[in-house]
Amino acid sequence: MVVAEFSITPIGKDELKPYVDAAVNEIKKSGLKYEVDAMATTIEGELEDILDVVKNSHNALKALGADRVLLELRIDDRSVGVTINEEVADYRAAV
């Protein structure tokens, strides 16, 4: 199990929500566990599945008319695996 965080932004577009919605829709269609926050989206799954979702999200923005897309991706791939809940359990317990 891998945890990845990515943000995707269409450059030169005033209204970002339709593009973010398109990216999130691609994640929903994948069936992978995910969490959207203010600056990025965290996804949990197998590496190949995550990379497919990121590629599909990128293609969805291009299909909406984005001429330029900026995508940032960070992957936490441990030999023992990792989940979103394991990554944030201590922080959530403190709140």
Secondary structure (H, E, C), the chain = CEEEEEEEEECCCCCCHHHHHHHHHHHHHHCCEEEECCCCEEEEECHHHHHHHHHHHHHHHHHCCCCCEEEEEEEEECCCCCCHHHHHHHHHHHC
CATH number of the domain within which 16 lies: 3.30.70.930
Number of domains in the chain: 1
Domain that includes residue 6, residue range: 2-94
Q: What is the pLDDT of residues 27-45, one digit of tens each?
A: 999 999 999 999 999 999 9
Q: If you average pLDDT over residues 76-80, what whole number do you get?
A: 91
**The whole model's pTM is what?**
0.86
Nearest to 22 by CA among 53, 47, 68, 67: 53
Q: Which residue has the tokens 């891998």?
A: 2
Q: Which token pair is 69?
A: 């897309």
